[in-house]
Every structure is written in structure tokens, then in C-alpha cells.
């Protein structure tokens, strides 16, 4: 039933190449989910998130010092190896310093027709962030128009906003189904759906979700075992989720940029389209690199844990990911105070599934109420 | 000294004054309350001129230089780092931050007594850690109000009105916030004076660094660390601006009289990023080869503010005073302060390693360098960002590069002897003998 999403996720490059051939449109690779995809979509461009491949590699060492996160190096490796050779442009919406290096090295060593560094504000809690970003989006829109040769009208923006909002609503509906006592899909399947949405024409993705939403309620619900949440750094390690969910647990919700954080907030339409888009990105559930001076994300995480009836949380961090490392002690303490035990794991490009399995099983045993000696 | 002395050398006459300014800074901060004043904490990069509008009895501690001082004290540093790790913070985070937090957790001030809790935090966010550094401080010392300005508006060559407005808007909010949390009325005249001081001191530091183009170099980098640091403490103060003028005059004199920092100078290098503070003896080891590190983009451009002169070379940026600009309003002062800081060389690399490479190549050419030593600094993601691309760019431009891995503030991640061996090999490559 959900195979289409898995297929898109696994064959992302083939999809993009076929899309390009079919439509004659341009494909833009982006490095962070703060990219205002609506503007690209309005210009007829397919935005494709650049992710890694989880393979050991030796091509990035001359470009990015090894103390930076494995994710940014894995992303750059994809470019250096020519796996995104169909891209017409790349862009980054400013977030952490780590992923920025993948962009700047790509800029120099994997030339494309168009590259853009969007100065997304970091202090999203400031009242000045919104007008500032709206101004930056206006410049970005002009640059995209010049690059594509297409004027982006208000009608184009309205349509793109609605396509994206619909996809966000549909994904929220899918996540609602995970609240069931017997969830109708696994965490692994949910992650595949979100990652696929970051690479596929959103309208096409939404059509597929609608079909799924009709079918899912009749699918047998799963005995969840221990209801878990997963949260932390960028995580598209599907193999890890699969392993945990084979140990008597189910991920029922997440706080990842490859999960709920990507689609949680909608654009509230208004006459000033760019301001409306800016507001969505300024007010979305923040990446920790932008969550200051207050840590607003903690309340959001606690709400998710409560509403999805979570028994434990797996807190993961890409090795060397400073923004998440800086929040993790406070998040773990808050979850613990609220009765949700946590397991902290540090991820690399490849994860030691065997070792992690032992730790996950011990964690599940610790928080479960099973009698060990039945 | 192994190689033959070629030039006369002398200690700096103003050295004692530099030491005194630094000591006073840390003492004034600790004793602020005894004098009825206020104290605030923030980074060395922060817009320190702004809190000056609260009065003359407001003293600060800048977190990076404080943490660097801790790092130079290996015993205390180790206790700080371990205290931070015990509190649950990752060992690969910024080592300045971990030393600073450790001092707070242990409640020990490096200069004696308990850690003096600031009345407010005035920070800016330059890298992933800067705002969050103080978020954690507020966890550790609850109740300290904090304000942090986001400066991530892109490189100076792409500055627009929209970007400047974003920063200046936050500064105006910040002044209202300062009045609220301190209960004091804000004095724009004091702000204007502080902006003038900052422009003067940072341009003067750039002028001092420019004088190091001379052969022999009148200053070497180990000494420069102790001088540039004053700018990281209070670049907005008249004390520092006056001192840099005195220093500039003395360095001019050294150039005129060929007074060398390294009397056997035969090889000119630059470094990059903060050094491993507990192991500055590395620079003395270089001197055995007659190798002088004339500075770096870090020592030149974190405090120094520069411009391209009519002859195409780098020199100190012309200050608003020199241009005859009369600052009359708060908004005008804040706009000048913003523009001045955004033009600083050490901001640019956050957005593009290629811009940094261009500046490094410029230094290598104008300061007549034979090679470059890059510190792959595990302690600072902010200044190490893009360093591998810098290496490639420098090599492409024809400059030999040696890299060494270390950590500015965590001695467990630096191996002095291994680094000295790398220096030996680098010197051999350059054809320089002891």
C-alpha cells in the first residue's frame, strides 16, 4: 500500500530525471528545510532536498574538516560523485554552519547554472525577522525569475501555497492515524512518506497520500509494543527505524526535519504572499539553530509526547551536530520530568545496527512493564 | 637561537600597559557591584558599544577571551571541562564554551573568588553556538535576562538596506530592553562616543598589523595575541583606542629602526584560527628556524577593520571621524556600528570559504609569506568552518600549507610534540634550517 513512497524515496534520482524529461522544467537542489519551496514551485521548478546515501566515502576529506557533522559530508559526497548531475541549481536557506559547507564546496567543485544563499534569519523570535525575511524572499524571487525566465505571478504563488498547504494537511492527517492504539503505519513508513515528499512533485505526492488515507483505516492496525518517539538531528536512517520497530516497539511520532518539523506548519494566505510565506518559515517548529533566546521547541516536543501517548523517546544526534547537542540535555531533562524516559544515540553516516540493537532492547526492557522472567 | 642573528630586537615598551589594561578589565568586572555598578556578559564579537549608553560604571566580561585565559591554565581548564561533561554536555562542543560553563558550574573565577554572576547578558549570534552558549548559562544560572542580536545577514559585499535594517531594528529593541532590565535611562551621547572609540581602536589595530608587512616583522603572532586581545575585551573603550595609538607609534618606530620580533628572521608564515592557548610555546619553536608568524586573518581581522586602499593594498579602514562624519542620533550611531562591524574580515568566512581564501591569499602576498600553517581547530566550528577549502585555495595560489590538528581550549586534543615534528617537516620542505 505504501510501496510507492518507498519507491520514490529509494529512486529519488530516477524520479527527478524522469520529471525533468517529462516537463522540461528545472530542478533545484536545496540543503535545508528552511528553503522556501513555494517560490520555486511557483516558478515551475522542482525542489529536491539533497540528502546523503549512508555509504562510507573518501571524497569529502579535502573539502570539509572531519569535525563537522557526517551528514553535511555525506551530502557533499553525493555532489562530488555526480549523483545529482541533473540539478540545474542549488540553494541553501541559512541554518547551521555544518550544512553550509556542503553548499559552499558544491558551489565551487560541482558547478551548476544557478546557486543562491538565502539569508534566513536565525533569531526567528525577533519581531524584525518577519519583515527581514520577506525582503530576502523578494530578492530570491527576482533571482529565480531571472534564472528561469518566468515571471512569478500572485496566482502562481497562490497555487504553490495551496499545493504545499494541502500536502502539509494530508501529512498531518497521516500522523493523526498514528495516535491510534493500534497504529496503521510504522515510523519507518511515515519517514519514507516525508522524505519522498521532499523530492517529489508535491501535487503528485498529495494524490498518493489521498489514496492511502482511504485505504489505511482498513489496514490491520499494529500492536505497537512500546510507543516511541524519535527526535533530534537530521535523520533519514530508515534502517535504524526498521531495526527498532522489529524489537517490539513502534515509532508513533517524531520531531525531525525529515519528519513532522518539515510539514507541521502551513502558510496562512494573505494579500502579501511573500510575507505570508516568510511568516510560515519564521513561525514554524524551529531547528535548534534558530530556537533562542527561549527554547520553544521543548513545549512542542512535550505536547507531541503527550498527544501521541509516548512511553519513551529515542534522542538521536548526528555526531558533531552542535545545535542539537546544545539542546539535548534540556530536552532529556524536560522529557524525564514529564515521565518519558530517553535513550540517547549518536549517529554517523553508517550506524552500528548490532550495537544499537542491544542498547535499544535494554531501553525497551527498562521502560516496558513486561515481566522479564515470564 | 640556532640561526644567526640578523636584526636587532627589543621588548615592547608598552607591554606593561597592555598587561595592566587586561588585569583591570577582569578586576573591574568582578568588583562592579562593590562600586555600585553593573556587570554584563557577552561575546568578544558583541556590540559592546551599546551597553556603554547605560553609564560609565558598567563593566563586562567577554566570554571567549575569558575562556582562552582558562585554557592557558591547564589545571583549572581540565576541572572546568570535566565539570561541563559531568553536567551532560558533549565533549565536541566549542571548547571556549565548555571552559566558560565549567567556571560557572564550579563557581570559581579564574582570578580568584566565586564566579561573578552578570546582571544581564548582551550577546550576538555569529555561529551555531553563540546565542545558545548563553541559553545554557541561563539554565545554569537562572534569572539572568539575556538579549542576543542575530547578525547573520551575509557577506559585506552583498549588504543591502534590508539586511542593515534587520540588525539595527534589533539594536533599537535591545536599547529599550537594556533600559527595562537595568532601570536606567539610556544616554545616546555615551553610545556615540563608544562608536567613535570602537572605529578608532579597530582601525588602529589594522594599522598595527599593516606595519607587520615590513621585513623584518616588528611583531610576531604570539606577542600579537596579547595585544589584539584588548580589542576583544573592550574595543569600544577610549582606554583601548589610546593604547593602540601608543602601540602603533612604537611599532612605527620599530619598523623605522629595523627592530625585529625575531632577530634571525628568514621565513615568514601566517597561521589561522585560534591557537592551542596552552601551547603557545609552538611559536617559540618556530623561532628556532628563524620563522616568524606575522599574524593571521584571525589576529588581523577579528578586531581589525580594513579597506582596500587606492594602491590596491589592504590597510586600516578610514574611520567616520577621519571622514568628518558627525554622528548626531542614536539611529545614525547604530547604522555606523553595524556597517563597521559587518565589514570586518573575520565575518566574511561564515558565508563563504572562498571569500576567506581570497583574503588569505592577499595577506600571503602583501605580507611576503613563504608558507601558511592552518590550525584545524576542533575547539571552534565558527572559525574552522571552510578551513579545508582554504587549504585548497592557498595551494592553488602557490603557497605551501602545513596543517595541524588541535583544540584552542582542550589540551586533550592537541599533541605538541607531534605538531613540532610537523613543523620540522614543513621547514624542511621550505628549505629552512635551524
- In this prediction, residues A241-253 reach a mean pLDDT of 97
Q: What is the mean pLDDT of chain A?
A: 96
Q: Which chain B residues are Cβ-neighbours of A289 within 8 angstroms?
A: 128
Measured between alpha carbons, how far is A322 from A301 in angstroms, rounded to an integer?
19
Candidates A163, A137, A144; CA nearest to A89 is A144
Give the pLDDT score at A369. 67
Q: Chain B: nearest CA to A28, how far in angstroms?
A: 20
A372: pLDDT confidence band, cut at 50, 70 and 90?
A: low
**Which of A67, A96, A292 lies nearest to residue B135, judging by beta carbons?**
A292
A185 Cβ partners below 8 Å, 6+ apart? Answer: A2, A174, A177, A178, A216, A219
- In this prediction, residues A58-62 reach a mean pLDDT of 95
Give the pLDDT score at B1. 45
Q: Which chain A residues are Cβ-neighbours of B88 within 8 angstroms?
A: 328-329, 332
Residue ranges covered by each domain of chain B: 15-430
Measured between alpha carbons, how far is B311 from B303 in angstroms, rounded to an integer?
23
Q: How many helices (H) and strands (E) does chain B have?
A: 17, 12
Q: At what angle do helices A154-177 and A187-197 cross, to 10 degrees?
A: 170
Q: Which chain B residues are Cβ-neighbours of A328 within 8 angstroms?
A: 88, 90
Size of interface A-B (CB pairs under 8 A): 137
Give the pLDDT score at B196. 98
- In this prediction, residues A348-356 reach a mean pLDDT of 94
Q: Which chain B residues are Cβ-neighbours of A323 within 8 angstroms?
A: 128, 132
Contact criterion met (CB < 8 Å) for A108 and B389: yes
Peptide bond into B216 cis (omega under 30): yes
Q: Which chain B residues are Cβ-neighbours of A329 within 8 angstroms?
A: 87-89
Phi-psi region of B183 (alpha: psi -120 to 50; beta: other; left: phi over 0): left
Contact criterion met (CB < 8 Å) for A94 and B152: yes
Measured between alpha carbons, how far is A40 from A88 in angstroms, rounded to an integer?
12
**Which of B125, B162, B351 lies nearest to residue A135, judging by beta carbons?**
B162
Closest A-chain CA to B124:
A123
> Is residue A307 scored above 70 in pLDDT?
yes
Contact criterion met (CB < 8 Å) for A132 and B162: yes
Q: Is the pTM of this model over 0.90?
A: yes
Residues of chain B with pLDDT under 70: 1-3
> Is residue A374 scored above 80 in pLDDT?
no
Candidates B31, B51, B55; CA nearest to B41 is B51
Candidates B131, B144, B127, B63; CA nearest to B99 is B63
**Which of B131, B160, B382 lies nearest to residue A292, judging by beta carbons?**
B131
> Is residue A124 scored above 80 in pLDDT?
yes
Contact criterion met (CB < 8 Å) for B93 and A63: no
> Is residue A217 scored above 90 in pLDDT?
no
Contact criterion met (CB < 8 Å) for B92 and A325: yes
Closest B-chain CA to A119:
B153
**Which of B139, B153, B387 lies nearest to residue A65, judging by beta carbons?**
B387
Q: Chain A: nearest CA to B403, how far in angstroms?
A: 11
Q: Which chain A residues are Cβ-neighbours of B381 within 8 angstroms?
A: 67-68, 97-98, 320, 322
Residues A192-201 have pLDDT tens digits of: 999 999 999 9
Q: Chain A: nearest CA to B289, how far in angstroms?
A: 29
Residues A62-108 have pLDDT tens digits of: 999 999 999 999 999 999 999 999 999 999 999 999 999 999 999 99
Peptide bond into A170 cis (omega under 30): no
Contact criterion met (CB < 8 Å) for A293 and B146: yes
**Which of B94, B154, B376 lies nearest to residue A119, judging by beta carbons?**
B154
Amino acid at each position: 500500500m505504501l510501496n510507492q513512497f518507498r519507491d520514490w524515496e529509494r529512486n529519488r534520482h530516477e524520479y527527478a530525471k524522469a520529471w525533468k524529461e517529462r516537463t522540461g522544467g528545472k530542478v533545484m537542489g536545496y540543503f535545508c528545510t528552511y528553503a522556501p519551496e513555494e517560490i520555486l514551485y511557483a516558478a515551475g521548478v522542482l525542489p529536491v532536498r539533497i540528502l546523503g546515501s549512508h555509504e562510507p566515502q573518501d571524497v569529502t576529506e579535502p573539502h570539509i574538516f572531519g569535525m563537522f557533522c557526517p551528514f553535511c559530508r555525506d551530502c557533499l559526497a553525493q555532489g562530488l560523485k555526480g549523483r545529482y548531475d541533473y540539478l540545474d541549481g542549488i540553494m541553501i536557506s541559512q541554518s547551521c554552519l555544518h550544512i553550509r559547507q556542503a553548499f559552499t564546496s558544491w558551489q565551487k567543485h560541482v558547478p551548476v547554472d544557478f546557486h543562491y544563499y538565502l539569508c534566513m534569519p536565525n533569531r526567528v523570535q525577533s519581531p524584525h525577522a518577519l519583515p527581514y525575511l520577506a525582503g530576502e524572499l523578494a530578492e530570491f524571487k527576482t533571482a529565480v525569475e531571472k534564472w528561469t525566465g518566468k515571471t512569478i505571478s500572485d496566482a502562481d504563488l497562490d497555487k504553490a501555497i495551496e499545493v504545499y498547504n494541502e500536502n502539509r494537511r494530508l501529512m498531518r492527517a497521516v500522523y493523526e492515524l498514528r495516535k491510534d492504539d493500534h497504529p496503521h503505519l510504522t515510523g519507518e513508513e511515515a519517514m519514507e512518506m516525508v522524505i519522498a515528499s521532499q523530492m517529489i512533485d508535491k501535487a503528485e505526492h498529495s494524490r498518493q497520500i489521498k489514496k492511502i488515507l482511504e485505504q489505511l483505516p482498513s489496514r490491520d492496525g499494529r500492536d505497537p509494543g512500546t510507543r516511541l518517539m524519535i527526535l533530534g538531528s537530521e535523520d533519514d536512517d530508515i534502517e535504524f527505524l526498521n531495526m527498532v520497530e522489529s524489537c517490539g516497539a513502534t515509532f508513533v511520532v517524531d520531531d525531525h526535519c525529515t519528519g513532522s518539523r518539515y510539514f507541521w506548519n502551513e502558510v496562512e494566505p494573505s494579500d502579501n504572499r511573500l510575507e505570508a510565506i516568510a511568516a510560515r518559515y519564521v513561525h514554524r517548529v524551529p531547528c535548534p539553530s534558530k530556537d533562542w533566546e527561549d527554547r520553544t521547541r521543548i513545549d512542542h516536543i512535550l505536547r507531541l509526547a503527550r498527544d501521541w501517548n509516548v512511553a519513551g523517546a529515542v534522542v538521536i544526534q548526528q555526531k558533531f551536530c552542535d545545535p542539537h547537542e546544545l539542546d539535548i540535555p534540556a530536552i532529556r531533562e524536560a522529557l524525564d520530568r514529564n515521565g518519558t524516559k530517553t535513550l540517547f544515540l549518536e549517529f554517523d553516516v553508517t550506524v552500528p545496527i548490532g550495537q544499537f540493537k542491544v542498547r535499544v532492547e535494554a531501553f525497551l526492557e527498562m521502560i516496558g512493564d513486561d515481566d522479564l522472567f515470564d | 637561537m640556532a640561526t644567526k642573528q640578523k636584526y636587532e630586537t627589543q621588548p615592547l615598551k608598552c607591554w606593561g600597559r597592555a598587561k595592566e589594561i587586561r588585569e583591570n578589565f577582569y578586576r573591574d568586572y568582578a568588583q562592579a557591584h562593590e562600586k555600585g555598578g553593573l556587570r554584563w556578559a557577552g561575546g568578544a564579537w558583541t556590540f559592546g558599544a551599546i551597553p556603554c549608553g547605560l553609564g560609565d560604571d558598567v563593566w563586562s566580561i567577554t566570554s571567549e577571551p575569558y575562556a582562552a585565559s582558562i585554557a592557558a591554565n591547564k589545571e583549572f581548564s581540565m576541572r572546568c571541562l570535566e565539570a561541563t561533561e559531568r553536567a551532560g554536555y558533549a565533549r565536541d562542543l566549542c571548547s571556549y564554551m565548555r571552559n566558560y560553563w565549567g567556571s560557572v558550574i564550579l563557581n570559581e573565577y579564574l582570578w580568584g573568588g566565586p564566579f561573578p554572576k552578570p546582571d544581564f547578558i548582551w550577546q550576538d549570534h555569529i555561529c551555531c553556538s553563540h546565542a545558545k552558549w548563553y541559553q545554557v548559562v541561563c539554565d545554569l544560572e537562572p534569572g539572568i535576562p539575556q538579549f542576543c542580536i542575530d547578525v547573520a545577514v551575509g557577506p559585506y559585499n552583498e549588504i543591502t538596506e534590508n539586511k542593515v535594517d534587520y540588525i539595527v531594528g534589533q539594536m533599537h529593541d535591545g536599547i529599550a530592553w537594556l533600559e527595562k532590565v537595568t532601570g536606567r535611562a539610556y544616554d545616546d551621547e555615551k553610545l556615540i562616543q563608544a562608536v567613535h572609540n570602537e572605529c578608532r581602536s579597530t582601525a588602529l589595530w589594522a594599522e598595527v598589523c599593516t606595519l607587520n608587512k615590513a621585513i623584518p616583522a616588528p611583531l610576531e603572532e604570539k606577542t600579537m595575541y596579547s595585544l589584539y586581545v584588548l580589542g576583544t575585551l573592550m574595543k569600544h573603550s577610549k582606554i583601548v583606542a589610546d593604547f593602540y595609538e601608543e602601540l602603533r607609534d612604537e611599532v612605527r618606530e620599530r619598523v623605522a629602526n629595523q627592530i625585529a620580533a625575531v632577530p634571525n628572521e628568514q621565513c615568514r608564515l601566517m597561521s589561522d584560527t585560534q591557537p592551542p592557548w596552552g601551547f603557545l610555546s609552538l611559536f617559540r619553536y618556530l623561532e628556532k628556524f628563524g620563522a616568524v608568524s606575522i599574524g593571521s586573518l584571525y589576529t588581523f581581522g577579528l578586531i581589525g577593520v580594513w579597506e582596500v586602499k587606492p594602491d590596491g593594498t589592504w590597510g586600516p579602514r578610514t574611520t567616520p571621524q577621519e571622514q568628518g562624519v558627525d554622528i548626531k542620533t542614536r539611529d545614525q550611531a547604530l547604522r555606523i556600528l553595524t556597517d563597521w562591524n559587518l565589514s570586518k574580515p573575520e565575518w566574511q568566512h561564515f558565508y563563504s570559504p572562498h571569500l576567506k581564501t581570497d583574503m588569505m591569499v592577499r595577506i600571503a602576498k602583501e605580507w611576503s609569506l613563504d608558507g601558511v600553517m592552518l590550525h584545524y581547530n576542533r575547539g571552534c566550528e565558527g572559525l574552522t568552518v571552510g578551513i579545508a577549502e582554504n587549504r585548497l585555495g592557498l595551494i592553488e595560489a602557490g603557497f605551501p600549507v602545513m596543517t595541524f590538528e588541535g583544540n584552542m581550549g582542550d589540551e586533550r586534543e592537541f599533541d605538541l610534540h607531534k605538531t613540532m615534528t610537523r613543523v620540522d617537516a614543513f621547514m624542511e620542505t621550505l628549505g629552512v634550517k635551524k
